[in-house]
Each structure stands twice: as C-alpha cells, then as structure tokens.
C-alpha cells in the first residue's frame, strides 16, 4: 500500500524527461549538439540554484529555465518522441501513480489530434508492459495564451472518447505573464463546461502578481462555487477527484478564504516554487495561508523535474518541512490521504 499510494499528480511531459532519454532522443534525431548544450546549461543551472539567496535568484538565473525548455523542444521532433517520451517518464518516475499533462500541438507535419493519439499510445503502452508496474494517466493542457473555448471543447471531447480511458482530465496552464487568449468569462465557461461534461480539471492559479491573474482567479473560483452549489449533498467534497488547483502563490486574502471554504485541493511543487522565487525557504510557504497542515487538501507534484531537479522523493521531503503535521500522519498515511485527490476515471 505504501508504494501503491506514492503519487505524482503535477507532472508536465516535456519537463520530466530524464537525461538518459534526452540523449537517446538527440542521437536518434541527429542533434547531439543541442543535447550537449542542454546538459551543460542544466548542470550550470542546478549548481547555481543549490542555495537560495535571501533576496531570491537573480533574473539571469531564472532566465536559464526558459533556455532549458527551448532546448528540450528542439530535441523533441516527431510523434514517436511523444509516445516514447511518455513511456520513459513513467519508467523513470519514483512515483507508482502518475498524472502526466501535455499541450497537444501540430508537430512534424502531423496534426494536434495525431499528437493526442501519440500521447495516448504511450500511456496505453505503460499499461501492457509488465516490467513497468506503475499506473499512469494523462491530462490535455489548454494553454491560456494560445487556445480558446472552442479548443477546450475539442480537448474535452477527446478526453471523453479516450480509448481505455487513459485521458482523465483537462489542464489549464500557459505562461502567466503572456498575453492571454483565454481569460475572464471565457475561462469560467471552460471550467463549467468541463465539469458539466463530467471531465476533471486542473487549473494553474496564482502564478503571477498581476491584475489579470487576480481577475482570472476570481472568475474561476466563482465558477467553481456556482458548480458546487448545484451538486447534491452526498457528504463527500464534490471537488475531490474532480478539481485541483496548481500552485496558488499570489492570492488575495479573500481568494485564500474562498479556496479554504470550498475545500479545493491544491497541488504543491516545492522545488519549482523555490526556484521561481515563489517561496523563500526561510519564510512560511504561501500555500500555508490557505492550508497549513498536511492533513488538509494538499497534494505534492514534481512539475518539471528535467528543469528544476526535484524528484518525487525530494518534493515529498520538502513538503513535510513546509507544512505542519498536527495529526502526526505517517508517510504511508499521508500517501493514502493524498490518493483521494487523484482524478476519477
């Protein structure tokens, strides 16, 4: 049961490839120079971020993150890379249960639907490979700087018809500082549309200290509140297994209180939060203003291990440092507690 309940519920595909897999990819796609640049830059980045300065990491260090992502995208060149990459992420993870998210796109002359097919093929392959002995599902990521309500409807339909139900939800993400194509009422419409279609949804929230982020957070929380009011009172929190919020760093006090009152689960990714200067280690974690104890609605994820270097074990240990454990839950009990936030199939 201990291993069975070891979960990673916030894991991005391209940001979770191992060095070994990326090297194989570069050899196959004849771009070893890109891999060499990536490996060198990643080593420099991890060395520069061993200790967090009291004033946070300087911009030139944080900018290295986007350089690393760019190099990974250069190495991923066709749909087989997506399929094999999905398998590799599952094999390499320290978790026994994963929910992996990725943004479908046209690649190498193939369509966005072809990309989803390739992602599903990788997830299905992990189920029939007896040597893997892990469980993995997928989320389709809706980029709020690229996509629209119509794109969301397409993704929702693909999730609903997913063979073997390997796709279990929609993820709302995208650069929080980028110009948004999906925001306000349209973003709220997507949240409601997903839930009314019986599709689970993970929503990145509170990732920037900007007016539009605050406005979109309000729009999403209002939509979730209205949806909850329509649900039958069955004793169980209707958001468990249906909705999770990602990060929740920059929130107003009113937003913090609403999340707590609604009982919305929050995904915490400690290494990512530290290395983006979202959390200064000598201060309370921002999410503790919503939930301060590990027996509340909190779940751990790695986010982008290929960039930040935060393995599942490391994330779990940091999580225990940053939040109280008033009920003295054991690690086994905590993993069992967090398993209730997995998306229902």
pLDDT of residue 249: 98
Domain ranges of the chain: 7-16+83-339
The DSSP H or E segment spanning 201 is strand 200-205
Q: What residues pair up with 101 in beta bridges, in sequence order?
A: 12, 139
Residue 342: DSSP 8-state:
S
Q: How many residues does the chain have?
A: 345
pLDDT of residue 4: 59
| Distance between CA atoms of residues 55 and 153, nearest Å | 43
pLDDT of residue 6: 85
φ, ψ of residue 225 to 5 degrees: the values are: -60, -45
Q: Which residues contact 265 (CB under 8 A, 6 or more apart)?
A: 239, 240, 243, 244, 245, 297, 298, 299, 341
φ, ψ of residue 195 to 5 degrees: the values are: -65, -40
Label the pairing between strands 243-247 and 97-102.
unpaired
Confidence at 5, pLDDT banded by 50, 70, 90: confident
pLDDT of residue 27: 98
Closest CA to 272 of 116, 49, 29, 97: 49
Closest CA to 239 of 273, 203, 290, 205: 203
Q: Look up the CATH number of domain 7-16+83-339.
A: 3.20.20.140
Q: Are 29 and 255 in contact (CB under 8 A)?
A: no
188-243 pLDDT, tens digit each: 999 999 999 999 999 999 999 999 999 999 999 999 999 999 998 878 899 999 99
44-93 pLDDT, tens digit each: 999 999 999 999 999 999 999 999 999 999 999 999 999 999 999 999 99
The SS3 of residue 65 is helix
Q: What is the DSSP string of 88-128?
A: HHHHH-S-SEEEEEE----BTTB-HHHHHHHHHHHHHHHHH
Q: What is the DSSP string of 262-276?
A: HT--EEE-HHHHHHT
**Does residue 286 surpass a pLDDT of 90?**
yes
State if pTM tops 0.85.
yes
Residue 13: DSSP 8-state:
S
Residue 244: DSSP 8-state:
E
Helices marked H in 129-245? 149-160, 184-196, 211-229
Residue whose entry in the numeric block shows the structure tokens 């839950």: 329
């Amino acid at each position: 049961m201990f291993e069975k309940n070891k979960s990673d519920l916030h894991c991005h595909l391209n940001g979770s490839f191992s060095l070994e897999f990326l090297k194989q990819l570069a050899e196959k796609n004849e771009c070893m120079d890109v891999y060499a640049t990536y490996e060198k830059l990643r080593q420099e980045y991890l060395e520069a971020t061993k200790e967090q300065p009291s004033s946070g990491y300087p911009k030139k260090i944080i900018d290295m993150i986007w350089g690393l992502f760019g190099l990974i995208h250069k190495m991923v060149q066709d749909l087989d890379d997506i399929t094999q990459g999905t398998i590799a992420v599952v094999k390499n993870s320290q978790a026994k249960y994963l929910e992996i998210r990725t943004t479908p796109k046209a690649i190498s002359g193939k369509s966005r639907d072809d990309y989803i097919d390739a992602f599903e093929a990788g997830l299905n392959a992990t189920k029939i490979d007896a040597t893997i002995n892990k469980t993995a599902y997928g989320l389709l990521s809706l980029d709020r700087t690229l996509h629209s309500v119509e794109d969301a409807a397409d993704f929702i339909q693909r999730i609903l018809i997913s063979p073997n139900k390997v796709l279990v939800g929609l993820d709302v993400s995208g650069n929080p500082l980028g110009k948004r194509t999906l925001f306000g009422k349209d973003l709220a419409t997507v949240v409601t549309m997903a839930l009314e279609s019986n599709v689970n949804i993970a929503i990145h929230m509170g990732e920037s200290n900007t007016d539009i982020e605050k406005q979109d957070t309000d729009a999403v929380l209002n939509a979730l509140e209205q949806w909850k009011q329509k649900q039958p009172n069955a004793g169980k929190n209707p958001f468990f297994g249906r909705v999770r919020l990602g990060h929740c760093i920059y929130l107003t006090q009113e937003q913090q209180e609403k999340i707590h009152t609604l009982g919305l689960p929050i995904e915490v990714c400690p290494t990512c939060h530290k290395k983006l200067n979202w959390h200064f280690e000598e201060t309370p974690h921002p999410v503790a203003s919503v939930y301060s104890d590990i027996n509340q609605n909190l779940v751990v994820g790695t986010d982008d291990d290929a960039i930040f270097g935060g393995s599942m074990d490391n994330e779990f240990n940091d999580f225990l440092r940053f939040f109280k454990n008033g009920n003295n839950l054991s690690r086994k009990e905590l993993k069992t507690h967090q398993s209730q936030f997995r998306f229902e199939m």
